[in-house]
Amino acid sequence: MVKKILFVCLGNICRSPAAEGIFKQKIKERDLEKLFVVDSAGTGSWHVGNLPDKRMRSTALSRGIELTSRSRQIEENDLYEFDQILVMDKANLDAVKLLTKDQNNSVNSKIKLILSYSKNFQLDEVPDPYYGGQNGFDKVIDLLDDAMDGLIDSLTD
Q: Which residues contribute to the site for ligand 4NP (CB under 6 A)?
A: 9-15, 46, 128, 130
Distance in Å, CB of 48 to ligand 4NP, minimum? 11
Distance in Å, CB of 95 to ligand 4NP, minimum? 11
- Beta carbon nearer to ligand 4NP, 43 or 118: 43
CB neighbour list of residue 1: distance below 8 Å, 6 or more residues apart: none
Closest CB to ligand 4NP: residue number: 11
Distance in Å, CB of 98 to ligand 4NP, minimum? 17
Asked if 70 and 51 touch (Cβ cutoff 8 Å), the reply is yes
Query: Distance between CA atoms of 111 and 109, rounded to whole angstroms?
Result: 5
- Beta carbon nearer to ligand 4NP, 9 or 114: 9
- The residues that are catalytic are 9, 15, 128
- Beta carbon nearer to ligand 4NP, 35 or 138: 138
* Residues β-bridged to residue 9: 42
Residue 37: helix, strand or coil by DSSP?
strand
Go through the chain and tell me how many residues it has.
Answer: 157
CB neighbour list of residue 95: distance below 8 Å, 6 or more residues apart: 43
